[in-house]
Amino acid sequence: MAEGSPSIFEAPFLARRTANFAALTPLSFLSRAATVYPDKIAVIHGARRYAYREFYERCCRLADALRRRGIDLGDTVSVMAPNVPALLEAHYGVAMAGGVLNALNYRLDARSIAFILDHGGAKVLLTDREFSATIRAAPAVSTSTTGLSPSARIAVRHCPSACAWLWTVLTVSRVAAGRAMS
């Protein structure tokens, strides 16, 4: 090909059109994988194996549970968990609900966790029960006046429809704002 001449890949008939182009986002990838390869293994964790169909369904259940808890487009959902399937499900489920995932480092102390929750404006916090002590201590050390405050009400809940895994759902709401969830 002569220097300066257009590449064959830039030909007008190859322009992006609905017939030849679809953006592959992580959510569309999962949906497509569940449709095209429903029985293929998606997740392996120890002896546990999930096929794409089951993985997709679990993510959808989490998204539904988050929506029912009031998560809307752009709301922050913080997650504190080790590298387990539930954390992977949160990466998809939070996005499916329209939320923004804020993954917390479980090695941090309560003061650091409180800062991150304050700064990120977490509306919901999902945590593995293993980290309950650190999470419960976070409001006590918070100094924020706009985020999670010492007077924050943290309601410990279980979400059986979405959480077959051992997670605790903590809904973070400010008593002053009167947004406590029942």
Tell me which residue has tokens 């120890």: 46
pLDDT of residue 136: 80
Along the chain (182 residues), what's the average pLDDT of each consecutive run of 10 residues?
Answer: 72 83 89 97 94 96 90 92 91 96 93 88 85 79 47 39 42 38 34
Name the 3-class secondary structure at 63.
helix
pLDDT for 170 = 52
Measured over the CA atoms of residue 108, residue 145, residue 152 and residue 166, the dihedral's sign is negative
- Domains in the chain (CATH in brackets) are 8-173 (3.40.50.12780)
Contacts of 81 (CB under 8 A, 6+ apart): 87, 90, 106, 126, 127, 128, 131, 167
Q: How many angstroms separate the CA atoms of 21 and 32, rounded?
A: 15
pLDDT for the residue 144: 53
Instruction: Name the token pair of 166.
Output: 């051992």
- Chain centroid to Cα 16, Å, comes to 31
What pLDDT score does 140 carry? 62
pTM over 0.85: no
Find out whether 41 and 50 touch, Cβ atoms under 8 Å: yes
Output the CA torsion 143→148→154→158 (10° steps).
-130
Q: Where are the extended beta strands (E) located within the chain?
A: 41-45, 48-51, 76-80, 100-104, 122-128, 153-157, 167-173
Please tell me the predicted confidence (pLDDT) of residue 97. Answer: 96
Instruction: Quickly count: other Cβ atoms within 10 Å of residue 55's Cβ.
Output: 22
